[in-house]
Amino acid sequence: MVKTIHFLAGFLATFTIVTFFLSTVVVEVFGSPAAVATVKSLIVAPGLFILVPAIIAAGVSGFALSKSRRGRLIETKKKRMPFIAANGLLVLVPAAILLDRWASAGSFGVTFYLVQGAELLAGSVNLILMGLNIRDGLKLSGRFRASRTTAL
């Protein structure tokens, strides 16, 4: 049960960030200001209401799964988690809320694009860290072959 929750939450959190990232880039390159405002609003709701619980669920279930286990892969996954959570809660959430407000008011000034850049950067960092946690998780669960040394 905890394993299933962890698997689903981990993939959902990663998928949500990929969706935020791609929809932002596509709409800002090809879309009208109204389309940008719609995407920014969808990122806040339902987007953040999916992302934040998914990150929390992945972290809590991950720590629960690791209680009875030791090893380098687990320690590395644990170390990445505070960065994933801080990036999500301290950068992605406030950035999404600010960008939604500004886009719905039609104010696409320098500050909008600076915060947008920060959001895309934080999103990319989280995607890399979550991708590494997925890779190490699949090694731990045996779905993805680990080498002898890393499996221990």
Residue 46 carries which side chain, given as an amino acid letter? P
Query: Cα(11)–Cα(35) distance, rounded to whole angstroms?
Result: 27
Distance in angstroms (rounded) separating the CA atoms of residues 72 and 79: 11
Please say whether the beta carbons of 46 and 12 come within 8 A: no
Per-residue binder mask for ligand HEM (CB under 6 A), 21-50, x = binder:
------------------------------
Question: What distance lies between CA 58 and its chain's CA centroid?
Answer: 11
Task: Determine which residue in the list 66, 89, 97, 112 makes contact with ligand HEM, applying CB under 6 A.
Answer: 66
In the complex, what is the shortest distance from the CB of residue 121 to ligand HEM, in angstroms, rounded to a whole number?
Answer: 18
146 forms part of the interface with ligand HEM (CB under 6 A): no
For residues 69 and 65, give the distance between their C-alpha atoms in angstroms, rounded to a whole number: 8
Which of 25, 110, 118, 140 binds ligand HEM (CB under 6 A)? It is 140
Query: How many other CB atoms are there within 10 angstroms of residue 21's CB atom?
Result: 16
Scanning 17-25, 31-39, 70-78, 97-105 for contacts with ligand HEM by CB under 6 A, the matching segment is: 70-78
CA pair distance 93, 87, nearest whole angstrom: 9
Q: Per rule CB under 6 A, is residue 143 in the interface with ligand HEM?
A: yes
Please give the residue ranges that form the binding site for ligand HEM (CB under 6 A): 3, 6-7, 10, 13-14, 55, 58-59, 62-63, 65-66, 69, 74, 77-78, 81, 84, 130, 133-134, 137-138, 140-141, 143
